[in-house]
Amino acid sequence: MSFDPTQFIDREFEQELFEELLRFDTPKRILAIRDMGGMGKSHLLERLEYRCRTVKPRIPVSVIALDQLEDCSPLSLVKTIAEHLSGRFKLNFESFKRYEGARQLGNFSIISGSVYLQAANFTDAEGVRIAATIVEKANVVVSSGGSLLTQEQEKTARQVVVDSFFDDLQQICANEPLVIMFDAYEKCDRSLQEWIMNYLLERYFFNDTYPPQARYAFVVAGREIPHFLSRWSAEEYQRLVKSIDELRKWEKRHVEECLRVHGFNYGQEYVDLFYQLIERGKPPSAVIQAMKLFFE
């Protein structure tokens, strides 16, 4: 179902935080949104995505529902992001496509040209030529192209592909802004959560040596979000992260606006009635559902 901006209510404060992020006039690059279920986090991300797609000039954006990934590997996640950005915004991930093609074909000679090989382990590899040397034996991993790679080679190849994606991203973001959003963080696989913390955030956000001119922003939302302070100092956290621990509670005017944009025939008594649900702690999604049941 496509996003309808005419039925989006409130969240002015949260949207302004996002706008501040997109100005890239401070070191802050991360917007972290935490709240309980039904409060509108996913709908807010849809609104932020819509803003990126419709502003002039458009801002390339990829929104990933982490709980809907069929494959929770970092490579699969990165491939999904690349598909969003290349398909919808015609961005060219040249290195990423080259190395991923080589991985799928089992062409380790291309992969090996991009990694430090002194400590690499190629034991039991077969049919793979590396720097004019044929390694004679393997029986572990079969790529889609039919060539054989050991588990260690496949692991190395996947890391090279992921690294190449972010190398391409760095070049793209030297000239234009870009946004990546993750939803339902608490529902994704634990190993993927660890990768987001230990690789994505550590290497490309909490890393003073990474080119600061790269203009990309990261939004993460969920009932739980990364535990930033368990890994980084409060100073680093304050410098890089904008945090929302709870979405703003609807006021009575938001209830009335919701009734109006949904086309319901209402009087002030209905505004008061549904606002009572908000006062009792019901999330906006439950209030909207109650309106539909009541009027329809």
* pLDDT surpassing 60 at residue 131: no
Question: What is d(CA 121, CA 76) in angstroms, rounded to the nearest whole number?
Answer: 24
**Structure-block tokens of residue 193:** 């959560």
* Cis peptide bond prior to 57, omega within 30° of 0: yes
CB 246 within 8 A of CB 234: no
- Nearest 5°: phi and psi at 88? -90, -30
The CATH number of the structural domain formed by 5-91+177-244 is 3.40.50.300
Residues 6 or more apart whose Cβ sits within 8 Å of residue 293: none
**For residue 57, what are its two tokens?**
């000039």
Please provide the average confidence, as pLDDT, over all residues in the chain: 87
Q: Can you tell me the mean pLDDT for 48-70?
A: 95
Taking only the tens place, the pLDDT of each residue in 158-207 is 999 999 999 999 999 988 999 999 999 999 999 999 999 999 999 999 98
Share of the chain above pLDDT 90, in %: 74
- Going by C-beta distance under 8 Å and a sequence separation of 6 or more, which residues neighbour residue 43? 8
Q: Indicate the pTM of the whole model.
A: 0.85
Map out the domains of the chain as residue ranges. Answer: 5-91+177-244, 100-157, 252-295
Total residues belonging to the chain: 296
In terms of pLDDT, which residue wins out, 232 or 145?
Answer: 232
CB atoms within 10 A of CB 97: 16
Q: What is the pLDDT of residues 68-110, one digit of tens each?
A: 999 999 999 999 999 999 999 999 999 999 999 999 988 888 8
The pLDDT value given to residue 109? 81
Rounded to whole angstroms, how far apart are CA atoms 36 and 98?
42
CB atoms under 10 Å from CB of 279, counted, come to 10
Instruction: Provide the percentage of residues in the chain whose pLDDT is more than 70.
Output: 86
Q: Is-contact 41 33, C-beta < 8 A?
A: yes
Q: What is the pLDDT, as a whole number, of residue 107?
A: 85
In this prediction, residues 241-245 reach a mean pLDDT of: 95
